[in-house]
Structure 1
């Protein structure tokens, strides 16, 4: 184990680290001032399970030699200046459970996007072999193309899928959520996705956070998301959602959104009356958990190794919350086309 994290070491990452020890299991250099490239000398890394180069100034392409580390479980390269594409041979790391390249300058498609592509193409593409993946974070890069269909059956263990702030286009494939029993966090913020929200999302029974902010989705109110009993954050602002939210109030008993704490439908084309019957079901917005005031708790995945985040507009200013406090309650339906009265039931939401 070699842990040099949270210091002020600088210079290049030593090339010898890749083959210094055939028994190296943990290599942690995060939060230093390392520059230059990731060494291409990972030739004797059979036992290496954990690599963390977070928060340095590493640049150029991700070294393909990392694919030789067949037992690698955690690869964290976020907050650097890496460029180029996600290596195609990263799919050889079939033991990988945590992959983050967030906040870099990576580009390109993350799997081959060929209409009607063959099974062979899917199996050989970069991420489709990662059957143990739990955390998958590509946020704040310049990836493009479509959201890969294969992610839906790549891993039955997937808990976090974060693709925010990229250039993904097209629809969300319904197959993406074919095996999503453990999925808790989905963030597609700031892309160019369009179409309707796939109904297959209702299979993700443990979903806590769904964030589709600032895309081109055009759909009616997804009332059926109310069947997700653990859903705490639903963020759909800056899209083209439309219609009367109260059209399906007869189904309120089944689709109640009772666990929601953050609800943001702002800047869409919703119309009609405000959904007073839904508001009466927002039980988590009705009381403040005083036990969290002195020592706040944050929304995180069940493994405790990934904090959930969200962007919101407060008093006209966009705020980027790197962590979501569990006692935070927000109800924003501004900039739509609602009419009629403000329902008295809003007064029940004392946690706002």
Structure 2
């Protein structure tokens, strides 16, 4: 038997599964099954979510059946235990988030690991990330958001060639973002495939390295990527042509998070908000031309707005967190008129000066987008030295990849200040014609 689905029933127990049973896809989600998670079992995708499981068999239990956790890593590509009543420390095999797990993550993953996805989002795990996770050479997605991990930035994950999604949000990670240098001080092999990186709400400090963004090769060269106009490959298959399991990711929409199941191949995200980063915004941010979602708010960044931001032609909307800080100084670079996809911008509560650039986009923003501080700023839409009779220049052409052919509308970019800190940049995203849910599972329970 290849596939078995018993989901959305009222089962309360699971009988003993024969030792050598092999089913590629087993779904017993949305039942009322209690007790320990049923092992041993051999399968590619095991969906045990939305039940009332209370414990997970330890590795010693699995060894009784000649299935060690390391072998389990190799044969079980996906194990979803979300929305249960689990407690205790995490065994070293794949788990899905929202289990209320407590304890540490043992550093004993061996070379037989073939994991592609690890999602421990929304638990109570603590301590450092296991360095042995680098043994999972095929790892693509790691989400440990909303836990209590205490560690430095995991630079050691940067050598995984297929690694594309890293979510460390809302933990206790600390220190600078150190960039390991290779031959000739090159960072070309540092997270080359990363597409979504969320480091928000931690304790990172120091200056953002100027070569950080250049090292993200997919983000820099994304517009030339072969899959650029398609969907993000967020579906893991139990077997070619058979059952599949969809990977979800949470994206900031203004000041809220939504979980998206359909992720476009051109959804490129950097979120460094709510940390202690200081110093100027690196000019190299302008090299990340594939960027759609950027959030650098609530830090201690200082200096001017880099003119290089004008290269981010895919950016759609800029919006505020209306908090006074006045760390952003200097003039608004005229290069920003190249951001012809902008629908909304707010640069209020800074210390900007000079003329507001004249363009079709800038003329559509309300005066409140530039008020609050900014005493030396003038020009439309502010009443100071505003010449309404002056025609606005024609908008520049938007690249094809930012056109409506994508069947969704992006609202991206906030240029803002942070509460108690300084200048920040935050990009929000609004996606239409997409299936967006806020649960840990792509299938909602029937009758709810």
Q: Considering the TM-score relative to the shorter chain, is it more than 0.5?
A: yes
| CA RMSD of superposed structures (Å) | 2.9
Q: Kindly tell me: are residues 339 and 137 of structure 1, through their superposed partners in 2, closer, same or farther at Cα, counting changes over 3 Å?
A: same
Q: Which has the larger radius of gyration?
A: 2
Query: Which residue is equivalent to 1:100?
Result: 47
- Out of 211, 218, 234, the position equivalent to 2:166 is 234
Point out where structure 1 has 5 or more consecutive residues left out of the alignment.
1-47, 114-118, 152-160
Say if 2:210 is the partner of 1:270.
no
What is the alpha-carbon distance in structure 2 between the residues aligned to residue 70 and residue 337 of structure 1? 51
- Tell whether 2:187 aligns with 1:253: yes
Is contact 1:64-1:87 (8 Å) kept? Answer: no
User: Displacement, 1:76?
Assistant: 0.8
SS of equivalent to 1:301: strand
1:1-352 to 2 correspondence within 5 Å?
A: 48-54=1-7, 56=8, 58-64=9-15, 67=18, 70-78=21-29, 80-86=30-36, 88=38, 90-91=39-40, 93=41, 95-102=42-49, 104-112=50-58, 119=60, 121-124=61-64, 128=68, 131=72, 132-149=75-92, 151=93, 161-180=94-113, 182-246=114-178, 248=180, 253=187, 256-286=190-220, 287-288=222-223, 295-301=230-236, 303=239, 305-352=244-291
Cα deviation, residue 189, structure 1:
0.5
Deviations 1:35-69 (A, max 9, x none): xxxxxxxxxxxxx4431123x2x224233165599
User: Relative contact order: is structure 1 or structure 2 higher (C-alpha 8 Å, sep ≥ 6)?
Assistant: 2
* More moved, 284-293 vs 202-211: 284-293
Cα deviation, 1:302-342, whole Å, max 9, x if unaligned, reads: 64622211123231111101233222100000000011100
CA distance in 2, matches of 1:175, 1:52: 32
CA contact (8 A) 1:111 1:126 kept: no
Unpaired runs of 5+ residues, structure 2, are: 292-448
Q: Check 1:65–1:247 CA distance in 2 against 1; reply closer, same or farther (3 A cut).
A: closer
Could you say what secondary structure the match of 1:175 adopts? coil
> Aligned pair in 2 of structure 1 residues 125, 282: CA closer, same or farther (>3 Å)?
same
1:143 aligns to what SS in structure 2?
A: coil
Return closer, same or farther for 1:97/1:248 CA change in 2, 3 Å cut-off.
closer
Alignment length, in residue pairs?
A: 281
**TM-score where L is the length of structure 1:** 0.71
Distance 1:285 1:203 in 2: 25
SS in 2 for 1:146: coil
